[in-house]
């Protein structure tokens, strides 16, 4: 197996890092296509096979990113004898970050109160954390605190400093904590030749782009000399989207059962693309007919959701179907095969009343419940039977997970009622926050917020139309075919952020990339 110069250097540095006891962090950074995951697979296999380490914890900030990583490792021939010595989990699970609901405002925060149990057993083990650019400042600080208190722990961070920072943070703090001239820090910058070499060439051009130069002119040679005519396309935007060549190409992919995605900067631009594409699919120009999801639509989860998988065998009319839970993560996609509607009271607040109130706070609690119970809690619920879109690389073929082609039951608040539903949630939250301010009762507010999350939030999927999303929402995801609206992304007045967004969008593509300029 031929390694390039930077890969050989990184392998030797990692061996030295694992064998010393003074430093606990190694930073293996690099741009898209430079072989970070490839190298990780090489050194993990070598360290385990030579008994330098007994086990490795391989982590990522999101389930989506973790799934891609796990697919790579478990399907690689090198690891066929070492799978038992690899554990895959999110960084939240490894470090014991649990979602706690603030009694003050009901917001969910990830907090770890005690030293994680995993770290206490970390001797002769290694931790690898991928996509470190996505780790928020709070979690970086917590990880540092726990690792410093556990001298045996060693962590290798993998990441790309050219990608966007965590949402609502100006920069990825993980990179700013690397000491100057730190020995265990290497940046991979030599491109590996793969089937998507054209995409990686585009990524390099975008990453090093000076905004004073014409990006289109820089990309034209890549397009004309593409090693595969399907790998990279360059389109010019026009006002008449439906007649444009990019739109026709996009629709051909949809008709072929693929799930291409258009990445933008602004939400309004994504909304426009979703509208245009759905008008074409459903053969109507009337947007009011397209407010809700329809049969044939692609939908994308914007938050984690637990769905039900319908059994394949037929049941009698009077027999309840056996259903199993299955999980969808942010940016996973489904195709809607059927739509049913029902009006449903999402919670009967009368059941939350204290039967025998004892204290003044108990009576105040019951008064609040009675007040909330007068609010309208009946909404139109859409119930979908849907299939998972497996040709989105977000859900790659993971040997450890059984991927079925069955139908999933997905419930969501109808878009007709979504604004009213969100207004009700807002009012309920304000009541709870005021109650806590007045009474400072953790036990009562814990009870209130538990009802809020388990009855009003979790049963209902948060979905967006699955044809176009913003670049920020695409972070940590990979898609088979990506169209990048370079014009929209470059409208961002923050120059450095625009380049990072453009680079992030480019590197979401695994097989096919197109630019709209």
| Predicted local distance difference test score (pLDDT) of residue 146 | 84
CA angle 378, 381, 383 (to 5 degrees): 155
Average pLDDT, the chain: 86
Confidence band for 316, pLDDT divided at 50, 70 and 90:
very low
pLDDT at 122: 65
- CA dist 76 and 307 (Å) reads 30
Identify whether the C-beta of residue 196 lies closer than 8 Å to the C-beta of residue 511: yes
Which CATH entry fits the domain spanning 197-292+466-516: 3.40.50.300, 3.40.1280.10, 3.90.25.10, 1.20.200.10?
Answer: 3.40.50.300
Nearest to 333 by CA among 180, 481, 156: 481
Q: Is residue 377 within 8 Å of residue 417, measured between CB atoms?
A: no
What's the rounded mean pLDDT across residues 168-194?
85
Q: How far apart are CA 340 and CA 333, in angstroms?
A: 19
Same topology between domain 5-188 and domain 197-292+466-516: yes
Confidence of residue 324 (pLDDT cuts 50, 70, 90): low
Quickly state the pLDDT bin for 151 (edges 50, 70, 90): confident
> How many H helices and E strands in the chain?
17, 20
How many other CB atoms are found less than 10 A from the CB of residue 323?
13
Query: Is 3.30.210.10 the CATH number for 5-188?
Result: no
As a whole number of angstroms, the distance between CA 242 and CA 133 comes to: 37
Task: Give the number of residues written for the chain.
Answer: 517
345 φ/ψ angles, rounded to the nearest 5 degrees: -80, 115
Judge whether residue 314 has pLDDT over 60: no
Between CA 213 and CA 75 the distance in angstroms is 42
State the average pLDDT over residues 231-253.
90
pLDDT at 319 over 80: no
Give exposure, 223-254, as e/b (b: 16+ Cβ within 10 Å). Answer: beebeeeebbbbbeeeeebeebebbebbeebb
Higher-confidence residue: 459 or 4? 459
Most confident of 61-70, 82-91, 253-262: 253-262
The structural domains of the chain, with segments of one domain joined by +, span: 5-188, 197-292+466-516, 300-464
**Three-class SS of residue 228?**
coil
Q: How confident is the model at residue 109 (pLDDT cuts 50, 70, 90)?
A: low
- Report the distance separating Cα 286 and Cα 30, nearest Å: 47
The CB density around residue 495, as the number of other CB atoms within 10 Å, is 11
pTM of the entire predicted model: 0.79
pLDDT higher than 60, residue 386: yes
**For residues 389 and 400, what is the distance between their CA atoms, to the nearest angstrom?**
18
Ordered DSSP codes for 362-425: HHHHHHHHHHHHTS--EEEEEEEEEEE-TTSGGG---TTS----S-EEEEEE-TTTHHHHHHHH
Residue percentage of the chain with pLDDT more than 90: 52
Kindly indicate the confidence band of residue 63, based on its pLDDT and cuts at 50, 70 and 90: confident
* Residue 117 confidence (pLDDT): 64
pLDDT greater at residue 195 or residue 302: 302
Segment holding 206, helix H or strand E: helix 197-207
For 2-39, b/e burial (b = at least 16 CB within 10 A) is: ebeebbeebbebbeebbeeeeebbbbbbbbbbbbbbbb
Q: Note whether 490 and 214 are within 8 A (CB).
A: no
Residue 468 β-bridge partners: 262
Report the pLDDT averaged over residues 32-49. 86
pLDDT of residue 38: 86
Terminal Cα-to-Cα distance of the chain (whole angstroms): 40
Query: pLDDT of 467-506, one tens digit each?
Result: 999 998 888 788 889 999 999 999 999 888 999 999 999 9
Distance from C-alpha of 329 to C-alpha of 147, rounded to nearest angstrom: 28
Range with top average pLDDT, 93-107, 244-258, 397-411? 244-258
Predicted confidence (pLDDT) per residue in 331-382, tens digit: 889 999 999 999 999 999 999 999 999 999 999 999 999 999 999 999 999 9
Greater confidence (496 vs 324) lies with 496
Count the neighbouring beta carbons within 10 Å of the beta carbon of residue 308.
16
Q: Residue 93: its pLDDT value, please?
A: 83
Residue 25 φ/ψ, nearest 5 degrees: -120, 135
Range list of β-strands (E), 213-276: 232-235, 261-264
Of residues 287 and 273, more confidence is placed in 273
Note whether 415 and 378 are within 8 A (CB): no
Q: Tokens standing for 34?
A: 């430079």
Rg (CA), the chain: 25
Sign of the C-alpha dihedral, residues 214, 219, 220, 221?
positive
Residue 344 and residue 341: Cα distance in Å, rounded?
A: 10
The pLDDT value recorded for residue 396 is: 43
**Spatial separation of the C-alpha atoms in residues 231 and 195, rounded to whole Å:** 9
Band (101; pLDDT cuts 50, 70, 90): low
Question: Which is more confidently placed, 461 or 120?
Answer: 461
Q: Residue 15, SS3?
A: helix
Residues 459-469 have pLDDT tens digits of: 999 999 999 99
């Amino acid at each position: 197996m031929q390694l390039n110069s930077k890969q050989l250097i990184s392998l030797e540095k990692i061996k030295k890092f694992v064998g010393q006891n003074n430093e606990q962090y190694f930073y293996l950074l690099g741009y898209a296509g430079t072989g970070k995951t490839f190298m990780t697979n090489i050194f993990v296999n070598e360290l385990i096979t030579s008994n330098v380490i007994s086990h490795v914890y391989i982590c990522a900030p999101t389930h989506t990113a973790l799934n891609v990583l796990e697919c790579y490792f478990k399907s690689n021939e090198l690891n066929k004898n070492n799978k038992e010595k690899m554990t895959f989990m999110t960084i939240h699970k490894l470090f014991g970050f649990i979602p706690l609901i603030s009694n003050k405002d009901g917001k969910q925060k990830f907090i770890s109160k005690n030293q994680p149990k995993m770290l206490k057993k970390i001797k002769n083990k290694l931790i690898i954390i991928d996509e470190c650019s996505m780790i928020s400042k709070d979690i970086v600080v917590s990880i540092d605190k726990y690792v410093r208190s556990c001298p045996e722990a060693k962590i290798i961070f993998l990441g790309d400093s050219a990608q966007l920072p965590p949402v609502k943070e100006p920069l990825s703090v993980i990179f700013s904590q690397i000491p100057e001239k730190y020995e265990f820090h290497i940046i991979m910058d030599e491109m590996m030749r793969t089937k998507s070499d054209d995409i990686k060439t585009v990524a390099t051009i975008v990453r090093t782009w000076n905004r004073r130069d014409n990006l289109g002119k820089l990309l034209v040679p890549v397009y004309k000399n593409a090693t595969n005519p399907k790998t990279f396309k360059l389109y010019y935007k026009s006002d008449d989207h439906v007649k444009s060549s990019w739109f026709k190409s996009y629709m051909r992919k949809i008709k072929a059962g693929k799930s291409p995605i258009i990445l933008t900067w602004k939400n309004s631009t994504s909304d426009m693309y979703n509208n245009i594409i759905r008008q074409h699919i459903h053969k109507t120009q009337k947007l009011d007919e397209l407010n809700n999801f329809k049969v044939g639509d692609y939908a994308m989860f914007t938050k984690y959701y637990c769905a039900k998988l319908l059994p394949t065998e037929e049941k009698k009319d009077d027999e309840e179907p056996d259903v199993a839970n299955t999980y969808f993560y942010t940016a996973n996609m489904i195709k809607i095969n059927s739509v049913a509607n029902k009006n449903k009271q999402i919670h009967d607040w009368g059941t939350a009343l204290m039967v025998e109130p004892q204290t003044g706070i108990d009576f105040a609690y019951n008064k609040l419940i009675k007040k909330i119970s007068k609010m309208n809690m009946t909404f139109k619920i859409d119930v979908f039977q849907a299939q998972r879109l497996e040709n989105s690389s977000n859900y790659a073929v993971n040997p450890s997970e059984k991927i079925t082609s069955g139908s999933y039951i997905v419930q969501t608040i109808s878009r007709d009622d979504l604004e009213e539903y969100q207004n009700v949630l807002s009012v309920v939250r304000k009541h709870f926050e005021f109650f806590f301010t007045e009474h400072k009762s953790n036990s009562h507010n814990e009870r209130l917020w538990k009802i809020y999350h388990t009855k009003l939030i979790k049963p209902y999927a948060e979905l967006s139309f699955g044809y176009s999303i913003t670049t920020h929402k695409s972070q940590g995801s990979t898609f088979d075919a990506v169209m990048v609206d370079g014009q929209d992304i470059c409208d961002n007045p923050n120059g450095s952020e625009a380049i990072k967004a453009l680079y992030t969008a480019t590197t979401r593509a695994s097989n096919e990339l197109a630019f709209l300029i």
